[in-house]
Amino acid sequence: MEFTAQAIAEFLNGEVVGDPEIKVNNVAKIEEAESGTLAFLANPKYTKYLYTTNASIVLINKDYELEQDVSATLIKVDNAYECFAKLLELAEQSKPVKQGVSSLAFIEKSAKIGDGVYIAPFVYIGENVVIEDNVSLNPHVFVDDDVTIKKHTTLNAGVKVYHECIIGENCIIHAGAVIGSDGFGFAPDENNVYRKIPQLGNVVIEDNVEVGSNTTIDRATMGSTYIRKGAKLDNLNQIGHNVQIGENTVIAAQSGVAGSTKVGKNCQFGGQSGIAPHIQIADGVKVTPQAGIPNTIKEENSIVMGTPAFNIRDFQRSFIVYKQLPDLFKRVKELENELKRLQSE
């Protein structure tokens, strides 16, 4: 499909600078764009490409001041990155939607299947499962007994959902994710032999959540592990039993949250961060990549860094000293030798 700059600007409430009738049929990175594509500029490090890009249309922020002439038609908007995301979402929605139940899927008779669903070949749906309207289950999805999957949710290839778990509306679960596997619960007996503690709870994923590929979310020992609405989990995350992830919190890849920890809303966790069990993270906390959090963080909207993690400004000041340790050690040894020499005279 082709769209004119004017049509795009009207959709985004933007302002056209250049040819309003120029058309695009694809999107591209600003540094790689060709004629007929639309790009965007949001990160200042890519500013130089605005003046050399071959894109036909570029989205830029309204407050951006041009340093020289630009060959592309510009659409000025309040937030170029957000508007580009809206266009990608529109393009995604325009793709044809698969519907229907494959004869190669296996569905238990007690399962309830809504309207407009897509159930691909080699999907298994267990006893008393509820699949609501417009759910999409791709090949090799396994849905265990008594699971509920609500409207407009997509489970991609190979997702496994264990018994009694609940997945909300408009969720996306990516390939290979496992929802509701047993929590890591073992108790040593008098012979230090570890006995498994039955995990009797479930996982509740609320609306508008996205779970990345090969991420695992453990079921609760008792009660529920909660992923609150709007949360986004990247690939290869591990969420322990009885954890609560707050609304609109994002966790980047290879991060782990240990059991019974409660993470507030609107938090951000960098990749490979680790959170200890039985602690609480306040709302709005930002955690830098590879940080380790051993204790509760009570200060809302704080930024922490390091292992063990603490306030980022304090960490940065400490790191300046840390880098100087070899020189400081050398100076201390020189002073010790000088002191010994003076004492021996």
Looking at 120-124, 137-141, 160-164, 329-333, which range is the least confident one?
Answer: 329-333
CA distance 234 to 225: 17
Residue 2 confidence (pLDDT): 86
Average pLDDT, the chain: 94
- Residue 237 is classified by DSSP as -
Tokens of 130: 């509820």
241 in catalytic set: yes
Res. 162 pLDDT band, cuts 50 70 90: very high
Give yes or no for residue 311 having a pLDDT over 90: no
pLDDT at residue 173, rounded to an integer: 98
Whole-model pTM: value is 0.84
Q: What pLDDT does residue 11 have?
A: 93
Residue predicted with more confidence, 250 or 97: 250
Q: What is the pLDDT of residues 33-52, one digit of tens each?
A: 999 999 999 998 999 999 99
Does the pLDDT of residue 345 top 80, yes or no? no
Catalytic residue among 152, 163, 174, 241: 241
pLDDT at 333 over 90: no
Q: Are 131 and 111 in contact (CB under 8 A)?
A: yes
State the Cα–Cα distance between residues 233 and 77, nearest whole angstrom: 29
Q: Averaged over 301-322, what is the pLDDT? A: 86
Label residue 129 by pLDDT band (50, 70, 90): very high
The owner of tokens 């985004």 is 12
**202 three-class SS:** strand
